């Protein structure tokens, strides 16, 4: 039986853990924030690694001579040194489809909460017991507003469909996507940003998208516009976003993801956001529903069994970094 290491044990995967143990495998659970030295020691004789957020470096991969596969129980693969894994013939796979609709629902909920000023109204009613119709509580209708999508893949397309149901106009920037009906394509990001009331980010994080929304892009947005990010924190220059919010060059933002997680009330570069009524902070949980987690656990276990049984690992993602693998994988089109 094999040794399996799962990082980020705070994200509960009870079904996966129980199934691996029932099959006789040794399962080692590492907490979020475990040092690289601890990680390297745990991996030394492991055959399978399950990870979510923990960086998987070339050093960690090089320390594991028996490692056969890395399963990301989630979507983003930017924390994995895929080139180091490829050089060793270690299959890398993610679970790309389990929460596409779920995350789109989460992003839409955050956008609606911004429009309706739910955070400051909730704070006020918690403090005072009641508030009366006054200018400070005036919200916005979504109908007739323009939503800009940065990334129009499956999650972005779901977001577009929801917005169209609310009679919003939808425009999109996504160089490598086919656009769904009713979404107007923009060839230049700044062109899109300048015309939108809400901007929602749904692209993957890679070398091209890191820092995609920077000082210049934020300056192109209207002072009345809102930014929603449920993709990856590093797609946005967060220091520039913080300045734009502090200087009231943006109407507000809703964030579920951050370059440095966990977010913290003190000692974090974005700690000042907690005090802002026009900023909604979510702890990277837009994926977290009963239905999505059931799908995630079921498919994660399927990929684990492929690795442990020596079968080709099924790649469903179209990410070119995963599609470039040539050993121990099969592609599902």
Kindly list the distances between the CA atom of residue 111 and the CA atoms of 197, 262, 288, 322, in Å, as whole numbers in the listed order.
10, 22, 18, 32
Among 230, 222, 211, CA closest to 285: 230
| From 10, 38, 191, 261, the catalytic residue | 261
Distance between CA 186 and CA 320 in Å, rounded? Answer: 23
At residue 315's C-alpha, the angle toward residues 230 and 69, to 5°, is: 95
Q: Would you mind telling me the total number of residues written for the chain in this entry?
A: 333
Residue 141, phi then psi, degrees to nearest 5: -75, 145
Distance between CA 168 and CA 142 in Å, rounded? Answer: 6
Strand partners, 49: 5, 70
| From 6, 186, 202, 232, the catalytic residue | 232
Distance between CA 169 and CA 171 in Å, rounded? Answer: 7
47 is catalytic: no
| CB-based contacts of 151, cutoff 8 Å, min separation 6 | 172, 173, 174, 177, 201, 202, 203, 204, 231
202 is catalytic: no
| From 284, 299, 303, 321, the catalytic residue | 284
Distance between CA 310 and CA 324 in Å, rounded? Answer: 20
DSSP state, residue 50: E
232 is catalytic: yes
Which residues are identified as catalytic?
232, 261, 284
């Amino acid at each position: 039986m094999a040794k399996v290491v799962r990082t980020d044990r705070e994200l509960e995967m009870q079904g996966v853990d129980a199934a691996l143990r029932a099959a006789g495998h040794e399962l080692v659970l590492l907490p979020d924030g475990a040092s690289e030295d601890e990680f390297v020691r745990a991996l030394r004789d492991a055959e399978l690694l399950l990870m979510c957020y923990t960086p998987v470096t070339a050093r960690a991969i090089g320390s594991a001579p028996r490692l056969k596969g890395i399963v990301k129980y989630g979507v983003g693969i930017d924390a994995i040194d895929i080139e180091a894994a490829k050089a060793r013939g270690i299959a890398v796979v993610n679970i790309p489809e389990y929460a596409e609709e779920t995350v789109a629902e989460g992003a839409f909920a955050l956008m609606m909460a911004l429009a309706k000023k739910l955070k400051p109204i909730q704070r006020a009613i918690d403090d005072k017991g009641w508030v009366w119709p006054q200018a400070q509580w005036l919200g916005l209708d979504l109908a007739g507003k323009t939503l800009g999508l940065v990334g129009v893949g499956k999650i972005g397309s779901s977001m577009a469909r929801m917005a169209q149901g609310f009679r919003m106009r939808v425009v999109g920037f996504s160089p490598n996507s086919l656009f769904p009906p009713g979404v107007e394509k923009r060839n230049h990001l700044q062109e899109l940003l300048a015309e939108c009331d809400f901007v929602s980010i749904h692209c993957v994080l890679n070398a091209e998208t890191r820092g995609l929304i920077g000082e210049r892009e934020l300056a192109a947005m209207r002072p009345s516009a809102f930014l929603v990010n449920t993709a990856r924190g590093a797609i946005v220059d967060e220091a520039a976003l913080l300045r734009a919010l502090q200087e009231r060059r943006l109407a507000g933002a809703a964030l579920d993801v951050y370059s440095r997680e966990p977010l913290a009330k003190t000692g974090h570069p974005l700690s000042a956001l907690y005090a802002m009524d026009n900023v909604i902070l979510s702890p990277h949980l837009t994926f977290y529903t009963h239905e999505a987690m059931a799908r995630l656990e079921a498919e994660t276990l399927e990929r684990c069994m492929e690795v442990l049984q020596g079968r080709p690992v099924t790649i469903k993602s179209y990410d070119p970094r995963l599609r470039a693998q040539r050993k121990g994988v099969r592609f599902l089109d």
